[in-house]
Structure 1
C-alpha cells in the first residue's frame, strides 16, 4: 500500500495479524466478521479512504454486519478526519465512555524486548524445557493448555481461525508441572511482530513471567526476520501499559469503536 498514511498501514498490518473469517475490502476500509470473536475481527476498519462518501460506506458496513449476524461496528483512529465523519453521520461511540481515550496502539523495537528478560525472575517450578533458557517455548500450534489459559476454554471455529490463521504465528507458553501458567501470541507481518493474548495465571503473577514470555517471543520473531513490534492496550489497563512502556514501547495512536445510533 504505497503512499498510504503510516497509521493506516499499521492498522492494516494489525488486521492481517488478527485475520477475520470474512474480510471484504471497501477502498482502504475493510469489512470484517468472525462470529463475534473480538471487536477487531468483527468491525469495519474505518481507516483511510473508502472510495465512496463515508455515510454510504457506513450503510454498506451495516448491511455487511447484518449479513454476517454481527452488530454493526466501525473502528476508527481517535481524532481522525474519518472519526469526525462517522460522528457527523450520527454514529455514537460504542464500548467507550464519552471521555475515554480508547485503545492504545504501542510500537517498539524487538531487540529491547528480547533483552528485557529479567535475570531475577522467579522461575521456581518452571519446567526447564523449550528453546528459551527460562523454560519458555514458542510453538507453531496452540496447545490445549495455551487455549485454556488464553481463551478460558475451547474456542469456536471462528476464534480458532483468528488465532491461528493468515500469518506466521507463534504461541509462547511456560509450564509448571506440565500445567500451563503463562501464554502469549505473536504473529509476524513483514518485519512487524503483533503481540496479543499475554496472560499469566493469577497464582504465578508478579514473578517476572510476562517479561520472560515476551523475551522468548521476541527472540523467536527476530530469528524470522522481524525487527519491531506492535500491540494494543485497552483502557483501563494501567498494569499492561506500565509493562510495555518499561520495555521500550511508545504510544503510536489510539482508536475507538462506533455504532449506529439506536443499534
Structure 2
C-alpha cells in the first residue's frame, strides 16, 4: 500500500530521516508510531497516543508499515499522569489562541468556557514562579480578559498560587472532577443518532453556555477528529465526542427538558463512545462536577471513575495600603 490518502486513519510505524547526522556518520533516523491523520503531495501527519501530531516530509520517509490497531497490552486509563491528561484534555477543547509559557499553556477564546480561557498549570513555566505570574496577568490584561489559572486540587502548583494570594473563583463552574474509563471494543450506537463533523445551529441551540456563537464554534470544532451527536429533528438530545490519539473526550451531553427520563442521554453516550472506538480511542475522559449527580449516574455504568479534581483561581484583592504615619 502506498503512503497516500488510503493510509488515513491507519495506525503505522514510520521511520524517517531527521536531517541530523547519526552516531555512525550516516543520516539520523527516528521512528514515529501513531495514526495517519493527513497525507498531501509533500507531507504526512501522524498523531501519537497522546494527541500530539508530527508532520514528516514524504521525501524523508525511509520505510513505514501498518501496525495492529489495538496493541495486545494497553495502558490503563487510571495510570496516566495528571499533567499528561491535562494536556490531552486541553487538546480536546482547544483555545482559539494558545501561547506556551514553558510547560504552562496560556489560553483565550472570547470567554467561552473556563477551560479555553485560563492558564493550564502543569509542569515548569520556564522562569521563576513570580515572573510567571506577571506574564499570566499581562497576557490576560492584553486580551481584556480576567486572569484565571486552572490548577489541580492538592497540587504543589495550587499551593504556590494560593500562597501568592490567588483565590478560588465563586460560582457554579468553579472547577470540575475529571473522570476516566477504559473503553470496550464496541458499543450499541443508536441508528437514529446523527454524528456530524461540524456544529449546526440546531445543535448549538441545545447547548446552553453560548454567548458568542463564533467563539463557541471555533473551540468546539477545533480538533481534527471531532463528532457532534444529535437525536431528533429538530434535535432534542446532543453530545460532543473528540478523539486525540488513544483518548476520547465526551462532553456537552444535553437533553431538552421536555424529553428527559426517556433514555436519550444514554443513547447519546453509547453512540459517542462507539464513534470514538471506531476512530481509534481505547480510553476516555470527561469533566463534570461532584454536584452533578445525574451526570455521574449516567456515566458510572461505563466504568468512569475519578482521576483528579481541578479548580479555577483568580488573583485576590490587592492588600490595603499601610498608613505610613502610624
State the secondary structure of the residue aligned to 2:207.
helix
* 2:112 and 2:210 in contact (8 A); partners too: no
Cα distance in 2 for residues equivalent to 1:33 and 1:198:
23
Cα distance in 1 for residues equivalent to 2:202 and 2:125:
41
**C-alpha distance 31-153 of structure 1, shift in aligned 2 (>3 A):** closer
Cα distance in 1 for residues equivalent to 2:169 and 2:211:
27
**C-alpha distance 17-153 of structure 1, shift in aligned 2 (>3 A):** closer
State the secondary structure of the residue aligned to 2:198.
coil
Which residue is equivalent to 1:212?
267
Which residue is equivalent to 1:51?
126
* 2:203 and 2:235 in contact (8 A); partners too: yes
* 2:190 and 2:267 in contact (8 A); partners too: no
Cα distance in 1 for residues equivalent to 2:174 and 2:214:
32
Higher mean alpha-carbon deviation, 6-15 vs 231-240, is at: 231-240
Q: Deviations over 1:10-59 (max 9, x none)?
A: 11111111111110001110000001100010001011211222222111
* 1:101 and 1:235 in contact (8 A); partners too: no
Which residue is equivalent to 2:181?
108
Which residue is equivalent to 1:67?
142
Gaps of 5+ in 2: 1-49, 53-79, 319-326
Query: What TM-score do the two structures reach when normalised by structure 2?
Result: 0.69
**C-alpha distance 93-152 of structure 1, shift in aligned 2 (>3 A):** closer
Q: Verify: 1:11 aligned to 2:86, yes or no.
A: yes
**C-alpha distance 147-24 of structure 1, shift in aligned 2 (>3 A):** same
Q: Which has the higher contact order (CA 8 A, sep 6+)?
A: 1
After TM superposition, give the deviation of residue 95 of structure 1 in Å.
2.5
Cα distance in 2 for residues equivalent to 1:33 and 1:153:
15
* 2:148 and 2:313 in contact (8 A); partners too: yes
* 1:96 and 1:257 in contact (8 A); partners too: no
After TM superposition, give the deviation of residue 235 of structure 1 in Å.
3.8
After TM superposition, give the deviation of residue 144 of structure 1 in Å.
1.7
Which residue is equivalent to 1:231?
286
* 1:195 and 1:229 in contact (8 A); partners too: yes
Aligned residues: 241
Which residue is equivalent to 2:217?
160
Q: Determine which structure has more spread, i.e. the larger CA radius of gyration.
A: 2
Which residue is equivalent to 1:85?
160
After TM superposition, give the deviation of residue 133 of structure 1 in Å.
4.1
Higher mean alpha-carbon deviation, 150-159 vs 132-141, is at: 150-159
Q: Deviations over 1:176-230 (max 9, x none)?
A: xx21000000111101111111100111111111111111111111111111111
Cα distance in 2 for residues equivalent to 1:101 and 1:36:
14
Query: What TM-score do the two structures reach when normalised by structure 1?
Result: 0.85
Q: CA RMSD in A?
A: 2.3
Q: Verify: 1:183 aligned to 2:234, yes or no.
A: no
Which residue is equivalent to 2:192?
135
After TM superposition, give the deviation of residue 152 of structure 1 in Å.
6.5
State the secondary structure of the residue aligned to 2:281.
coil
**C-alpha distance 259-152 of structure 1, shift in aligned 2 (>3 A):** closer
Q: Verify: 1:169 aligned to 2:226, yes or no.
A: yes
**C-alpha distance 134-20 of structure 1, shift in aligned 2 (>3 A):** same
Which residue is equivalent to 1:262?
317
Gaps of 5+ in 1: 118-131
After TM superposition, give the deviation of residue 110 of structure 1 in Å.
2.5
Higher mean alpha-carbon deviation, 237-246 vs 56-65, is at: 237-246
Cα distance in 1 for residues equivalent to 2:171 and 2:87:
22
Cα distance in 1 for residues equivalent to 2:210 and 2:149:
28
